[in-house]
Amino acid sequence: MVNHPADSAARCEEAYAKAQELQEKLNAVITFVDPKEQLSQLPEGGLLHGVPIAIKDNVNTKGIRTTSGSRILSNYFPIYDATITKKLREAGAVCIAKASMDELAMGGTNLTCFTGAAHNPWDTRRMTGGSSGGSAALVAAGVVPMAIGSDTGDSVRKPASYCGVVGVKPTYGRISRYGIIPYASSLDHVGYFTRSVEDACITLEVLAGRDDLDVTSSNRPVEHYTEALNDSIQSKKIAILGNVIDSVSNPETVKLFNELVEKLKAAGAVVDTYHFDDKLMRAILPTYYTIANCEAASNHSNLDGIRFGVREDGADMQEIMTNSRTKGFGPLIRRRFVIGSYGLFEANQERIFRKAQKVRRLIVNAMKECFKEYDCILAPASGTIAPFIDEINNDDKLSTDYLVAENYMAMANFSGDPSMTVPMGFEEGCPIGVNLTCPAWHESTMFTIAKAIEDITGYRDLQTEVK
């Protein structure tokens, strides 16, 4: 990923042109950003000097439209950069696109963006996953070597699986969230996509660190994560998440995973099957929806056409707000706000919102118990390859396959532990990934194991020609 200064202009112009060329097929970009002005102001010596990147459209970019995938913010031009935008500029990265996303980051399909659905580069009939699907698609299509996303449930790690790239969600507080349009503040993490574990290490070295503008950011020293690439997985203890394996109905996914496990054992890792309480695993998704929807309803109460957002006509202030929110949000968002507001009513908080917080704590405690013995939790990042867009509503939402196999990764958002997805194999010509979760602040261990998996599979720098 690291660029040679002499190649910077040509590389960025090529990425910009390719993003535009593929837009009709992928629809992965909300706003294109001409790199010329940035190229004229590149700092010297940055780790990402002249590297073209894409940034998810919920990250503030000064003077560049930032919509969070929602019609209500389609006229929002930030007057300041998010901290990570500033860090990327200082490192020499060049943003060529604001990437498509699910509206307000609330979704796992990337079908709800106000500009339309994003399409998977490996098979444009299939979805990218969400909510950071546009970023994943641009990396998988070879447009950019790195793209920024955000992860509240699995919004980086699931698209990484579907698009065949590396997707990283570091420890809560490792990367500043200042200047990022929130979804659910206790669950939101900055994440990113690359095509190799090495590039993932380099990116975290750029983005990590304390930010006085974000009180949740940590002052822990930033490690040299690339050093972890040379470490051995000999005697690393890995817990296979048995609940997920038991819930995956696709035998090809299980076969790919079991083959990987055997190779990890041969490389010296100690691998055991570990089961969480089944009731806790089935509770992950409803707990996530309860907490996330309640926090989102509060976070976005200012999007009313008066304080922020596109304003619709009305006879009085109340009617303006009602019309602006009704027309400004898609049906999924309106439904989630109703659910979240209901859970925050004083009469309901104890039995809905606070109960969900208690269940969250039980799940986090169970993870801590596992990490007393193991260095890493491992499982397929999804039960299947990316679904076809026109079949997305066919899932049985109460099935164990859906509740556990497709949604368990939100547990790392509950705990704030670092978690990442790397490519595991292919089914029907489309990629599928494996997910690793490690204890808080153990990104180096996570990268060591991820690099071992990358070496075993040989899936480094995967990209596809879009047809």
Confidence of residue 168 (pLDDT cuts 50, 70, 90): very high
Q: Are 140 and 165 in contact (CB under 8 A)?
A: yes
Coil, strand, or helix at residue 339? helix
Using the predicted structure, report yes or no on whether residue 335 has a pLDDT greater than 70. Answer: yes
pLDDT score at 398: 72
**Does a cis peptide bond (omega within 30 degrees of 0) precede residue 131?**
yes
Mean pLDDT, residues 188-207: 99
* 56 is known as an active-site residue: yes
Using the predicted structure, report yes or no on whether residue 148 has a pLDDT greater than 80. Answer: yes
Rounded alpha-carbon distances, angstroms, from residue 41 to 64, 89, 170, 370: 17, 9, 30, 48
* 25 is known as an active-site residue: no
pTM of the full predicted structure?
0.97
Reported as a single tens digit per residue, the pLDDT across 342-371 is: 999 999 999 999 999 999 999 999 999 999
Q: Integer distance in angstroms from the first to the last C-alpha of the chain?
A: 25
DSSP labels for 248-267?
---HHHHHHHHHHHHHHHHT
* 86 is known as an active-site residue: no
Using the predicted structure, report yes or no on whether residue 395 has a pLDDT greater than 70. Answer: no
Percent residues over pLDDT 90 in the chain:
95
Q: State the chain's mean pLDDT as an integer.
A: 97
DSSP labels for 137-157?
HHHHTTS-SEEEEEESSSTTH
Catalytic-role residue among 18, 56, 87, 169: 56
Using the predicted structure, report yes or no on whether residue 286 has a pLDDT greater than 80. Answer: yes
pLDDT score at 270: 99
Neighbours of 74 (CB within 10 A): 16
Question: Tokens representing 23?
Answer: 């837009």
DSSP designation for 311: P
pLDDT score at 394: 65
Domains observed in the chain: 5-228 (3.90.1300.10)
Catalytic-role residue among 100, 132, 155, 176: 155
Distance CA 48, CA 42 (A): 10
Confidence of residue 1 (pLDDT cuts 50, 70, 90): confident
Q: Are 48 and 91 in contact (CB under 8 A)?
A: yes
Number of helices (H), then strands (E), in the chain: 15, 11
Mean pLDDT, residues 97-109: 98
Confidence of residue 396 (pLDDT cuts 50, 70, 90): confident
Catalytic-role residue among 8, 68, 100, 131: 131
**Residue holding tokens 């939101």?**
188
Reported as a single tens digit per residue, the pLDDT across 430-439 is: 999 999 999 9
Using the predicted structure, report yes or no on whether residue 215 has a pLDDT greater than 90. Answer: yes
Percent residues over pLDDT 70 in the chain:
99
Reported as a single tens digit per residue, the pLDDT across 219-275 is: 999 999 999 999 999 999 999 999 999 999 999 999 999 999 999 999 999 999 999
- Which residues, listed in sequence order, are joined to residue 208 by a DSSP beta bridge? 175
